[in-house]
């Protein structure tokens, strides 16, 4: 992360960019601009997408701007909520299956 005079700016990883793009362009826009159609949603990548977005939320809430003034208690709560959410996601069966599939795919 780089520091500017107004705070640190967000640098997204490739996976974070893909996750945000998928959430925005594939899901958000299709819900927001609803057109009746048959839909099937693949769920195995969703826990990782959520964790990518939680990292961004954590950064934006706690590091991005000197104009965001959170009390010590609220900062602690944000950290805890992000940590707890990521922990729950990483322990989910769906996440474990996805990681196993990625390992099998990478190892041939």
pLDDT tens by residue, 46-105: 899 999 999 999 998 888 777 778 889 999 999 999 999 999 999 999 999 988 988 898
Percent of residues in the chain assigned helix, strand, coil, to nearest 5: 65, 5, 30
Question: Is pLDDT larger for residue 37 or for residue 60?
Answer: 60
Residue tagged 């974070």 (tokens): 16
| 36: helix, strand or coil | coil
**Residue 35 DSSP SS3:** coil
What 3-state DSSP class applies to 51? helix
What span, in angstroms and rounded, lies between the C-alpha atoms of 38 and 46?
20
Query: pTM for the complete prediction?
Result: 0.75
- Closest C-alpha among 100, 108, 107 to residue 47: 100
């Amino acid at each position: 992360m780089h520091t500017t005079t107004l705070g640190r700016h967000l640098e997204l990883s490739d996976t974070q960019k893909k996750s945000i793009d998928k959430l925005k362009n594939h899901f958000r826009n299709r819900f927001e601009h609803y057109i009746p159609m048959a839909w099937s949603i693949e769920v195995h990548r969703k826990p990782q997408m959520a964790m990518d977005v939680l990292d961004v939320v954590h950064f934006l809430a706690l590091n991005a701007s000197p104009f965001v003034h959170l009390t010590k208690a609220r900062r602690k709560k944000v950290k805890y909520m992000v940590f707890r959410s990521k922990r729950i996601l990483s322990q989910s069966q769906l996440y474990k299956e996805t990681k196993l599939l990625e390992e099998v795919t990478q190892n041939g």
